[in-house]
Amino acid sequence: MAIIDRVKWDASPDQLVWKFPSEELSTWTQLLVNETQQAFLVREGIYDGPFLAGRHTLSTENIPLIRTLIGLPFGGKTPFSAEVWFVNLTANLDVKWGTPDPIQIEDPKYGIIVPVRSFGQYGVKISDGKKFLQKLVGTSTSFEVDDIARYLNGSLITIAKSIIAEHLISLKTSILDISQYLVLISRAIEEQFSAHSEECGIKITQFNVQSINVPVDDPSVITLKNALAKRAELGVLEFTYQQDRTFDVLKAAASNEGGQGAIMGIGLGANIAGAIAGPLGGAMSDLNHQAGQPTLNTKGAIHESTNPIDTLKEWKNLLDAGAITDEEYAEVKSKLLKGI
**Sorting pLDDT into bands at 50, 70 and 90, what band is 102?**
confident
Residue ranges of the domains in the chain? 6-88, 92-215, 238-338
Global model pTM greater than 0.85: no
What percent of the chain clears pLDDT 90, i.e. is strictly above it? 28
Residue-wise pLDDT for 140-153, tens only, equals: 778 888 888 888 98
State whether residue 154 is helix, strand or coil: helix
Q: Are 292 and 324 in contact (CB under 8 A)?
A: no
**Helix, strand, coil share of the chain (percent; to 5):** 40, 25, 30
Structure confidence at residue 209 (pLDDT): 95
Whether residue 122 has pLDDT greater than 90 = yes
The per-residue b/e assignment along 105-137, b for 16 or more CB within 10 angstroms, e otherwise, is bebbeeeeebbbbbebebbbbbbbbbbbbbebb
- In whole angstroms, give the CA distance from residue 212 to residue 116: 7
| Comparison of pLDDT for 179 and 284, the residue scoring more | 179
Give whole-number Cα distances, 136 to 22, 148, 317, in Å: 21, 9, 79
Q: CB-based burial of residue 278 (10 Å sphere; 0-12 exposed, 13-18 middle, 19+ buried)? A: exposed
Average pLDDT over residues 282-288: 41
Q: Any idea what DSSP says for residue 177?
A: G
Q: Are 82 and 68 in contact (CB under 8 A)?
A: no
State whether residue 23 is helix, strand or coil: coil
- Judged by average pLDDT, the poorest of 72-86, 123-137, 285-299 is 285-299
Query: In this structure, what is the dihedral angle of CA atoms 142, 146, 150, 151, given to the nearest 10 degrees?
Result: 50
Whether residue 66 has pLDDT greater than 80 = no
Class of 92-215 in CATH: alpha beta
Look up residue 166 and give its amino acid.
E
- Phi first, then psi: what are they for 273, rounded to 5°? -65, -35
Bridge partners of 116? Answer: 103
Structure confidence at residue 73 (pLDDT): 54
